[in-house]
Amino acid sequence: GAVVSQHPSRVICKSGTSVKIECRSLDFQATTMFWYRQFPKKSLMLMATSNEGSKATYEQGVEKDKFLINHASLTLSTLTVTSAHPEDSSFYICSARDPGRDEQYFGPGTRLTVT
C-alpha cells in the first residue's frame, strides 16, 4: 500500500489565492521530505528539501516566499503556493525516504490548476 500520501490530489483555484498541499509519510518517520514540480511532458524538478524542525532548503530559482514549506512533524510536510498565478499550474509531488529501507517513496502527486 501507499507509504506517502498527498492531499489534495487535485485542486483548482483562482489567481491570487493560496493553496496548501500536504505530504504525509504513513508508515515511517521522515526527518527530510522533498518537493518536486513536474511540467507537462517534462521530468521532475526538485524545488526544495523540507527539514523537520528547521527551515526548508530551496533550489536555485525557487522563490521561498512564494512556495512556503513547513515540516512541523516527522510525518507531515506542507507546501503552500501563495498568491497563485496561472504559471504555477503544475503537478507537485513530494517524496520521503524510509530510513529503514532502500527506497525513496513518492506521494501520488497534486495537480494544481490556477485559473
Partner 1 sequence: EDKVVQSPLSLVVHEGDTVTLNCSYEVTNFRSLLWYKQEKKAPTFLFMLTSSGIEKKSGRLSSILDKKELFSILNITATQTGDSAIYLCAVEDWAQKLVFGQGTRLTINP
Question: Would you tell me which residues interact with partner 1 (CB under 8 A)?
Answer: 32, 34, 36, 42-46, 49, 93, 95, 97, 102-109
3-state SS string over 24-63? EECCCCCCEEEEEEECCCCCEEEEEEEECCCCCEECCCCC
User: Is the Cβ of residue 55 or residue 85 nearer to partner 1 in the bound state?
Assistant: 55
Q: Least separation, in Å, of the C-beta of 49 and partner 1?
A: 6
Phi then psi for residue 10, to 5 deg, are -150, 135
Q: Least separation, in Å, of the C-beta of 98 and partner 1?
A: 11
Whole-angstrom Cα distance, residue 69 to residue 56?
A: 6
Q: Least separation, in Å, of the C-beta of 15 and partner 1?
A: 26
Residue with cell 498541499: 21
Whole-angstrom Cα distance, residue 114 to residue 103?
A: 33
Whether residue 8 has a cis bond before it, omega within 30° of 0: yes
